Amino acid sequence: MTLAPGLRTTVSIVVGDEDTAAVVGSGEVPVLATPRLLALAEAATVQALRDRLAPGQTSVGTRVELHHRAASPVGAPVEVTAELTEVDGRRLVFTVAAHQRDRLVADGTVERFVVDTERFLAKLQG
């Protein structure tokens, strides 16, 4: 595994009814739900790591800090960018930012750890 700060990727969506706070249960208004935005931020970090980890490895999310700064209505395009900013052994820290066109919608950090997939899953079996 050779990972270095600067690795970045972007995921995009157009906010649909299924992405709203009213539908996912995090509020009552038809705007992009914070949990959905968080899922997009994590998806961007996973996508950034795709094909960059050793065979048999994956990453798991361990910590998130997200500031949801502005509402995005149904039909709005939203892009979430994740940039790897810190590598500390198996610990990876990404800075994430979501934009609706030129407007900052959210920003924060996502921390992930690289794990051996089989060993990680075996621990779940007890």
Residue positions annotated with a catalytic role: 34, 42, 68
Token pair of 26 as six digits: 């995090």
Instruction: For residues 110 and 34, give the distance between their C-alpha atoms in angstroms, rounded to a whole number.
Output: 14
The one-letter amino acid code at 62 reads T
Residue 99: partners with Cβ closer than 8 Å, 6 or more residues away:
78, 79, 81, 105
Q: Is 75 buried (19+), middle (13-18) or exposed (0-12) by CB count in 10 A?
A: exposed
The reply, when asked if residue 61 is annotated as ligand binding, is yes
> Which among 38, 57, 49 has a CA at the least distance from the CA of 92?
49
Binding-site annotation, residues for substrate: 61, 112
User: Which residue numbers belong to the known binding site?
Assistant: 61, 112
